[in-house]
Structure 1
Amino acid sequence: MTDLTEQQIPAARRPRPASPFADLLEIEQLDENTFRGYCHAGAPMRAFGGHVAAQALAAAGRTCEGRTVHSLHGYFLLPGNPTRPIGYEVERLREGVTYATRRVRAVQDRNEIFSLTASFKRPEPTGGRHRKMPPVPGPEVLPDAFSHWDEGLRAAIKASDGFRDLELRFVPEDAPGVPPAVPGMPQQFVWLRIATPFAVDDPLLHTCALTYLSDLTLASTAGLHEQPNFFQRTEPPRLLMASLDHAMWFHRPFRADEWLLFAQRSPSCSDGRGLSLGEFYDRDGRLVASAVQEALIRGLA
């Protein structure tokens, strides 16, 4: 098991995009299959899981030139420390003509904290179909997700590493076009994007960014029967939440720095676990990606 140290000299790094958010996805390449990065906190002294998953995917993608990722499956094994580096060890499982598979172990202080398997492929010219996007109001008529926070909290969250360059706008439950709620299945719809356009047109950068974005609200969807999501909540939390596993499928090209609708629903919550399903649509109504997550859901004493 490789444990990265500060003394190791990183290899040359790729040109850094100008977007502040893109800096979060930067990783150092230490050798052919080993990388290092830092992840910001999502909760006090706990690295944000979406950030770890995004950097792990970036590491896998850096070993898979000429193909784009079409699916990933990850398990969150231990909480990461946002003050310590994380090593990403890539194992090349398959190198086919069309498909290639990578496994990534995220290691911190000699402990594996996250495990990722990702599949990449070369594009194929075929027809297609997809589910229709719900006709909800667009982001231009909705308030910013942070607009109801007081000025101090708004300034603090916008200055933080994780949210400094994000835009989120939630669709009200009673807005026109919102599908009728199904009993026992909470749902929420949020428009989101990276606020600053990326300086490079790199598909891997956009898929890593969407992997990060996908972890912002899925767990809260599973807990909507108990409390509002983090961005809209004004009272103290009643639930403890943490991502257990995470899977994504990327169906069509997209840009994470343009508005995407994240349509989410949760069909089950029991045994201290909640399952959430999500679909990403672009402004043209195309289904560009899907996500599934199981999260730990426990009441706070």
Structure 2
Amino acid sequence: MNETITADEPMYFIVDRIRDGKSFASRSVKIKQNDKVIFYASCSFQKYKETPNQLNHQYAMPDVYPVDSAETIGESALKNSNMMLGDFIIDQKVTIMDTLPVDSRLAIPKDPHLRENFNLGVNSYLEKIEQSEKKLDSTQIRLPYNYRWIKIDSSLDVHPSVHICMLAALSDFRILMTAALPHFWGYNYNKNTLGMGVSLDHTLHFHAPVKADSWLLWVVESPRVSNGRGYVLGRFFDTDGVLVASVVQETLLRAQPKLESAINTLTFNTLPPKIKSFDHISNSTNSSPTQPKL
């Protein structure tokens, strides 16, 4: 998105047919308003079909408690509005664009160490610590990593392509705040001042059919923030554990330290993936597969 959009003026869509093949098609789309290009998109489409014995791998869905679990995070009994940055509510129940009712809740990891870190992203939990004699130390940095349950809060009898469009809208809902997690929550709570945070570019990949009105686990991480820009990655899993879509966003994130004690140069460890499970396609030459060494 290049310019501010107003609903009071007409918008003109200019679509260029880039390629039409047997399996793939490509389009470029420009939207103009008041003779200015306000939006640009490059779109690729694939004819979906089930192919036997096709190659298939994915990252596993993280182990989290179900969305209807009685577990709480950060000692909060609230389902929504636990994570806030100024006027931005990260886990919000709201209607976006005056059209789509969205329910977004913080998901709770089963890993106790990760859950303890996620507690550091709950504002009320941090406020209690600030008001007590206990203080956070510099090791208690909130990781740039987050889980959220999210869905369109309405049952919809619509074409599958509409669910894709609705997921596209969900994919831009508060995703950029993941880049701010280490700098505005945990040890750095109330130590920095946010100047501006907006999306610069946004990419969305669909991997499988999806229903946007069913609960999806949104796993979001930010590997890099530098020079006022944040790099954010997101993955959507359905409740069966299928990775249905992935997101990449670059954000503008301008902030200034409010306190000298703020720690704003951070490096986090990361690990390579490990095999969790596999299915073997048996055949006459190998009916008893050997489990790989992990």
| Same-fold call, TM cutoff 0.5 | yes
Q: Deviations over 1:46-69 (max 9, x none)?
A: xxxxxxxxxxxxxxxxxxxxxxxx
1:88-167 to structure 2, matched below 5 A, reads: 88-126=13-51, 127=54, 128-141=56-69, 143-146=78-81, 158=94, 161-162=97-98, 165-167=101-103
Distance of aligned partners of 1:205 and 1:250 in 2 relative to their CA distance in 1, 3 Å threshold: same
Please, which of 238, 248, 260 is the counterpart of residue 282 of structure 1?
238
Q: Is structure 2 residue 104 aligned with structure 1 residue 168?
A: yes
Coordinate RMSD, CA, aligned: 3.3
Residue identity over aligned pairs, in percent, reads: 31
- For residues 45 and 113 of structure 2, the distance between their equivalents in structure 1, rounded to whole angstroms, comes to 34
Q: Deviations over 1:16-45 (max 9, x none)?
A: xxxxxxxxxxxxxxxxxxxxxxxxxxxxxx
- For residues 78 and 178 of structure 1, the distance between their equivalents in structure 2, rounded to whole angstroms, comes to 44
User: Match of 2:59, as an amino acid?
Assistant: R
Q: Is structure 2 residue 185 aligned with structure 1 residue 224?
A: no
1:219-298 to structure 2, matched below 5 A, reads: 219-227=176-184, 238-298=194-254
Q: Deviations over 1:152-210 (max 9, x none)?
A: x99xx7466458611111125xx4248857x896111100000111122x121011111
Q: Is structure 2 residue 42 aligned with structure 1 residue 86?
A: no
- For residues 300 and 163 of structure 1, the distance between their equivalents in structure 2, rounded to whole angstroms, comes to 35
- For residues 108 and 264 of structure 1, the distance between their equivalents in structure 2, rounded to whole angstroms, comes to 33
Deviation at 1:223, TM superposition (A): 1.3
Which secondary structure does the structure 2 equivalent of 1:226 belong to? helix
- For residues 160 and 196 of structure 1, the distance between their equivalents in structure 2, rounded to whole angstroms, comes to 13
- For residues 257 and 224 of structure 1, the distance between their equivalents in structure 2, rounded to whole angstroms, comes to 27
- For residues 243 and 150 of structure 2, the distance between their equivalents in structure 1, rounded to whole angstroms, comes to 15
- For residues 178 and 81 of structure 1, the distance between their equivalents in structure 2, rounded to whole angstroms, comes to 46
5+ long unaligned stretches in structure 2? 73-77, 118-140, 258-294
User: Match of 1:186, as an amino acid?
Assistant: P
- For residues 163 and 138 of structure 1, the distance between their equivalents in structure 2, rounded to whole angstroms, comes to 27
Which secondary structure does the structure 1 equivalent of 2:184 belong to? coil
Q: How many residues align?
A: 214
Bigger Rg over Cα: 2
Which secondary structure does the structure 1 equivalent of 2:65 belong to? coil
Q: Is the 8 A contact 2:96 2:102 kept in 1?
A: no
TM-score scaled by length of structure 2: 0.64
Indicate the larger mover: 162-171 or 92-101.
162-171
- For residues 208 and 194 of structure 1, the distance between their equivalents in structure 2, rounded to whole angstroms, comes to 11
Distance of aligned partners of 1:122 and 1:158 in 2 relative to their CA distance in 1, 3 Å threshold: closer
- For residues 119 and 184 of structure 1, the distance between their equivalents in structure 2, rounded to whole angstroms, comes to 36
- For residues 195 and 116 of structure 1, the distance between their equivalents in structure 2, rounded to whole angstroms, comes to 27
